[in-house]
Amino acid sequence: MRMHHFLFALLATTAQAGEIAYIAGTNPAERPAAAPAVTEVQKDAAWYASALTGVAQPYPASLHFLENQGNWFSPFTHAGMTPPYDLRGWHTDK
């Protein structure tokens, strides 16, 4: 219950200051207009080298999805299970 009092006090203070309050999760079906947005994703050679760990050239056409990969989580670009299931060698010493 104390968290509700804190949020109410925060909103009241912000409203008095004339600022727009943004509290995540108050309306999860709607993205607030003032919420920050990612407009560009920088993927350098190190990012591609990491994403293509354990994949031999020539790279298959099915990996074209990496061109459209944003900053969201993808299991393809992170280490998965340990050996003997580590087919791409993420957990081996390099």
CA distance 32 to 35: 5
Separation between Cα atoms, residue 8 and residue 10, nearest integer Å: 5
Q: Full-prediction pTM beyond 0.85?
A: no
Summarised one tens digit per residue, pLDDT across range 22-78 is: 666 677 788 777 778 888 889 999 999 999 999 999 999 999 999 999 888 888 888
* Rounded to 5°, angle at Cα 23 from 19 and 24: 145
Please report the pLDDT score of residue 12 as a whole number.
56
Residue 82 confidence class, pLDDT cut points 50, 70, 90 = very high
Residue 63 main-chain phi, psi, to 5 deg: -90, 10
**Could you tell me where the DSSP H helices lie in the chain?**
2-17, 45-51
